[in-house]
Chain A
Amino acid sequence: MPELIAKAALAGRLALTRGSLRLSEIAAGQITSIALFPGQHKAITKVLKSVGLTFPAPNQVVEKDAARLVWTGRDQVFLFGTTPPEIPHTVGATTDQTDAWAGLSLEGPGAEDALMRLVPLDLRFAQFGLGQVRRAPIYHMQAIVIRVTQNRFDLLVFRSMARTAWHDIETAMTTIEARAVRSK
């Protein structure tokens, strides 16, 4: 039998530009959830140290080369971009999450203004800077919001909801552009 064809959540959708903002689908690569069992903090620290990472504090991201460890919940992190190190089954539960999430990137000056149409959090750079992550709703859906650079956010939403997420963000970008035109 021939190999199955893989498709991204928004396969083939071109990046969208509105004013100074750009929305695109990104390939987040391999994603593995690591959930710590009770009392295993020391043990996981040791495991992660071997690959140059630390277990991130709540709302934090830890990066090393291509690997990115993102806090996603109590005693739970997502590892992006690399195969997870061997974690003893008594230390933590690892689960493949690669296909469960659609990745979007919103970038450009004022990206936070667009996102703050949908995310009920203070995403201004001074409050939500580099290396920060939040589990927060994007309008009606649960999401993972990561600050990548001063003008770029990576967003992860349930894969099946990617089209709605795109639509909601596009609407926010479009109205912001229309406001900018208005005030000219």
Chain B
Amino acid sequence: MRIDGKGLIDRTKPVKFQFDGRSYGGYRGDTLASALLANDVTLVGRSFKYHRPRGVLTAGSEEPNALVEIIGAKNQTPNVRATVQEVFEGLKARSQNRWPTLKYDVMAINDVLSPFFSAGFYYKTFMWPRAFWEGLYEPLIRRAAGLGSLSGRHDEGLYEKAYAFCDLLVIGSGPAGLMAALTAARSGADVILAEEEARLGGRIVADDAVIGGMAGAAWVDTAKAELDAMPNVRIMTRTTIVGAYDHGTYGALERVGLHLPARANLPRECFWRIVASRAILAAGALERSIAFPMNDRPGIMMAGAMRSYLNRFGVTTGKRVTFFANNDSARAAARQLMKAGVSVAAIIDSRPDAPLEEDCIVHAGSQVVDTRGRHALRQITVRKGSEVIEIETDTLGVSGGWNPSLHLTCHMNGRPIWSEDLAAFVPSAGAIPGMVAAGAANGTYSTHGCLAAGQVAAVEALAALDIRATTQPLPDAEDAPYRHAPLWTVAGKGRAWLDLGNDVTTKDIALSAQENFSSVEHMKRYTTQGMAPDQGKSSNVAALAVLADATGRSIPETGTTTYRPPFVPVSIAALGAGGRGMGFAPQRFLTSDQASRDRGAPMIEAGLWYRPSYFPKPGETTWRESCDREVRMVRQAVGIADVSTLGKIDIQGVDAARFLDFVYANTFSTLPVGKVRYGLMLREDGFVLDDGTTARLGENHYLMTTTTAAAGLVMRHLDFVHQAFCADWQVRFISVTEGWAQFAVAGPQARSLVNSFLEVPADLPFMGTSPVRVGGVEGRLFRISFSGEEGYEIAVPTRFGEALFRDLVARAETMGGGPYGMEALNVLRIEKGLITHAEIHGRVTAFDIGMDKMISAKKDCIGKASATRPGLLGAEREQMVGLKVGGEIGLVAGAYLFAHGDAVKRETSQGYVTSACWSPVMGQWLGLGFVKNGRARFGEKMRLVDHMRDVDLVVEICDPVFHDPTGGKLRA
């Protein structure tokens, strides 16, 4: 029900929204919870386990009950707290964890069966028969449990991530936070003020406190105006600090567009990483409940929340209100509601010496022992000494005291300290380096105390920042002491809930203790207390008190579980903002990319690069047809392939040759200028790291080529070797991968094609290199081959890459050639028995690939000693072999090899296949693979089995070089 003249909502901006398909009205500034309460909707959800009807309990992010699904055009967001979600025109919300409707929920049968469903029920009941757990019990339980549901579709909403930096981060904008921010900002510090709610003020506006003779909201507006006007202040509303991390880094979740109808380009949420030299935690305190029998009905809520709804939203939750409290918090709520014209039926105060000054019935020294009303509270039963009183009421405001919001102080393993005075945990000083807690978050509850604490914390922070503090006198404010007497539970018939989020009762805690799960961490796991979306914000301390009582220990002895980040639920979409789909990694495009796509080439990913798979011609219907044609084209005429993706590292210095001798297994110091050599690089453990060719461009100047896949890895390896072992050598290297576009020209016509481009024709020997001029540009020419044909690679500065590719292809086509893609490139190299990372996959040695002779005996190199370790040489090793088979049945990479007659099982495997292709030139299937003692077994027939692709055939082991074994063609 809305109260005229109260609240900070904008009554000139009415909005329509839906809840469970029904349309309601609210105002801008309302939360979903306040708007529903204004419409007298008190039943908003069903509990997790027993499907009990539940209403709104709190007015903040700690809400355990009022969780709803928000339905957007592209999103369905479960477990949204109605107390946080603001209403907007067209908002659609749906209650969850019920079927078919919120009011009539079939699963409420669980509530009737609740005696069977106490804590530990699953563990005991579903143990037998063992096999039933995975197939039957778990799926059933999972279907029955759980809160909101996901749409099952990708969340295509826009999310954002961002960084921010400041001198001082103030967390919370109640009296302590605002005063801290004002003090620090006035002194000139860079301040970020983060407030979880839509407007500043915290409890100042919720309680309608009077500050400096002004109404609280007006004082907050004045403070906000002052802060807004200062360039060194950034106010971040709707932003929850969710975690405290090393070096003053804080994670924060901002609700950017969740309070508005979806708009193009407006992020839903932003995940901030804020780095602050100092931080002040002024997050306030959370009111806690009392575990009295049947304390979970809709209409039973926190007394402080009732004040929030009245003062912030102009909403009262009932017509005939009662309160049950052990402290003075409920009194202010009662006074304010009565002033607003709401009838307060009674205040039940557990303290025998409770003040009786309110203008309504006050039952001192009494307790609520039962409640009634299925879908809404109707009546409470009060025990006052031996007297039992029944009171008709539709709203019961409860206050069991206040717990400082100290969660962030525990994020780096700090343990809070028990305060007997407050009957609450308070933060331990220094738990987060650079952060102090102030105000209610530190156990100071009066408004004046919070203002003062905020100022003191700011002055301390300024001193640490070496900024001179300018302070102003504090405004006057209420400074009442915190009067309370701890009361955790009320004995009586019926269940008394502690954790409303996970339906954990006092009985469950007692059972846990009885079954010897008496450590607080065991109790948590046994009962699931504190493990719901609210992470037990309103139940943890009370649950500890009950456990302490059940185990005969004190609360500090019992200890508390660890509060971990995040403080509130954080959507994975916000954490991964920008990373969905193609945003996962950068895309690297070749200069020939568009030219390849123009020819209809399907592009495949090679690391981050996109490379053409094959170049289909009219009439070709399968990739194999195109691939076979391209292979024949290279073998018979000439082919062009973009090989710019290979890593290129420019190495210079007097010690460059020495350095290469050290990182390569073979020798490069003997390489003549103008020549290229194939090199094999080992890891420190003696296994193969990478291979490639390195050219000597000058006496002290080399150009190393790596594989595409290992370009970054090799660069990192070189850096490591240099820094760790030879930092004083005169050698420097830098990547030039991106600086050169490089194209392979291969085939019998390669030389005439290349020379037709060069201003001065080159006559390079095999493995020669020279600078060349191409089309007016300084380029480089290498005579190397990855196909077994006479091959050249021609490199030009990248800006000329596209032009050279298109020109090369055009001219090649005139000569009966054309471009070839990765598929053909793969076939060509398999035919020639050349390795890629399919073979040097990290578990093979130089010996395995038949290159152990390349490890020079005349020098040391990385991995040399390790490569000779026992077990890395000899007949027991799986050695690289060729594989061939006749007929149309295909070899498959990934298949396993077995000796004839052996059983096909893991233990009898003799090896495996790493590469396979149809060779259009040889007219048969070829492959490369590894077989135990393979080099001694050429000619042997083996059984090839691939269970996944259902292949089982006989193959012949052979030498891996199928094409031109003598190398006559490439040396031509």
Contacts and interface: CB of A to CB of B under 8 A. Distances in A.
Interface stretch (A42-50, A57-65, A112-120, A147-155): A112-120
Nearest to A174: B265
A22 B769 CA distance: 45
Contacts of A122: 163, 165, 275
B732 A35 contact: yes
Contacts of A95: 650, 652, 734, 736
Per CB-CB distance, the 10 closest pairs between chain A and chain B, nearest first, are A93-B652, A4-B775, A35-B732, A100-B739, A99-B798, A100-B738, A178-B265, A122-B165, A160-B588, A3-B776
B164 interface: yes
A7 B799 contact: yes
B730 A90 contact: yes
Interface of B: 158, 160-165, 256-257, 260, 263-267, 273, 275, 578, 583, 585-591, 608-609, 650, 652-654, 700, 727-730, 732, 734-740, 756-757, 759, 774-777, 796-804, 807
Given A4-B777, A93-B652, 20 more contacts: A3-B777, A4-B774, A4-B776, A4-B807, A7-B799, A33-B734, A38-B728, A38-B729, A76-B734, A90-B654, A93-B653, A99-B798, A100-B739, A121-B163, A158-B738, A161-B587, A165-B586, A175-B265, A177-B265, A178-B263
Nearest to A96: B739
Given A4-B796, A6-B803, A116 B736 contact: no
Interface of A: 1-8, 33, 35-38, 75-76, 89-90, 92-93, 95-101, 116-117, 119-122, 124, 127, 139-141, 158-161, 163-165, 168, 171, 174-175, 177-179, 181-182
Given A1-B775, A161-B588, A117 B161 contact: yes
A108 to B, nearest CB: 17
A127 B165 CA distance: 10
A163 B591 CA distance: 12
Summarize B's interface: helix, strand, loop or mixed. Answer: mixed
A120 B251 CA distance: 13
A178 to B, nearest CB: 4
A106 to B, nearest CB: 15
Given A1-B775, A100-B736, A175-B265, A163 B728 contact: no
A117 B586 contact: no
Contacts of A165: 586
A100 B776 contact: no
A43 B756 CA distance: 45
Nearest to B799: A6
A182 B653 contact: no
A143 to B, nearest CB: 11
Contacts of B728: 38
Contacts of A119: 163
A168 B774 CA distance: 36
Contact of B757 (A1, A100, A120): A1
Nearest to A5: B803
Contacts of A99: 738-740, 797-799
Contact of A158 (B275, B588, B799, B802): B588
A95 B653 CA distance: 12
Contacts of A33: 734
B759 A140 contact: no
Contacts of A127: 165
B928 to A, nearest CB: 30
A89 B264 contact: no
B738 A120 contact: no
A2 to B, nearest CB: 7
A140 B586 contact: yes
Contacts of A174: 265
Given A38-B730, A117-B161, A159 B653 contact: no
A90 B731 CA distance: 10
A6 B800 contact: yes
